[in-house]
Amino acid sequence: MQLKTKCFCHLMWLLLVSYWLPLSCYSQQVTVVNIEQVTDLMQNQSDTVYVVNFWATWCAPCVKELPEFVQLHEAYQNRKVRVQLISIDFRSALESSLKPLLQRKNITCPVWLLNNTDYDSWINRIEESWQGEIPFTLIFNNQRRKRVVISGQTDFHHLEKLIGEML
């Protein structure tokens, strides 16, 4: 009788660990970048459509639209479309706010954390018409000389329509 109980306990423990472990090990990779790395991305001359979204964890509309970018990333992952989320949170928020939010929201697309909070020094390098509001999204294909700016919240269908015009 003791052996059955012991085996049952081990089995339950294994089931619990196998369920919990994948959830606890999920950790979205966040790459800390500088403004030069972002401007290099913006100048990419490949025939790829880039969807670059600037956002922050403290911005409710930004967080609300994140699933739209995940859906876009998954829908176009086998085509010449790349989704890049760029957080403008403070670097100190990386472990306390940014990564936990990405895990809660199951964000699977690439995420960068821009390590420069002096927004006035780099906003015009990204887009001259940008006044600093977020969410802010750029969709571009530099080889085809196409570029669209979305100021404010957007959704999957709007993004998909714009990408279709650039492919």
pLDDT of the chain along its 167 residues, tens only? 554 545 454 444 444 444 443 443 445 799 999 999 999 999 999 999 999 999 999 999 999 999 999 999 999 999 999 999 999 999 999 999 999 999 999 999 999 999 998 999 999 999 999 999 999 999 999 999 999 999 999 999 999 999 999 98
Is residue 8 a part of any domain in this protein?
Answer: no
Q: How far apart are CA 90 and CA 87, in angstroms?
A: 9
Residue 24 counted as domain residue: no
Bridge pairing between strands 49-55 and 146-151? unpaired
**Burial environment of residue 93 by CB neighbours within 10 A (0 to 12, 13 to 18, 19 or more):** middle
Distance between CA 140 and CA 47 in Å, rounded? Answer: 10
Residue 82 forms part of a structural domain:
yes
Would you give the DSSP letter of residue 98? I
* Cα distances (Å, whole numbers) of residue 13 to 5, 6, 16, 51, 152: 12, 11, 5, 44, 47
137, exposed or middle or buried, with CB in 10 Å at 0-12, 13-18, 19+? buried
In a domain, 100, yes or no: yes
Q: Which residue has the tokens 């423990």?
A: 13
Instruction: Answer yes or no: pTM beyond 0.75.
Output: yes
Is 11 a member of any domain? Answer: no
Tell me, yes or no, whether 43 lies in a domain: yes
Give residue 107's domain range: 29-166
Whether residue 1 lies inside any domain: the answer is no
Burial status of residue 25 (CB atoms within 10 A of its CB: 0-12, 13-18, 19 or more): exposed
Residue 150 in domain: yes
Q: Interior CA angle at 50 toward 74 and 61, to 5°? A: 70
CATH number for the domain including 141? Answer: 3.40.30.10
The domain total for the chain is 1
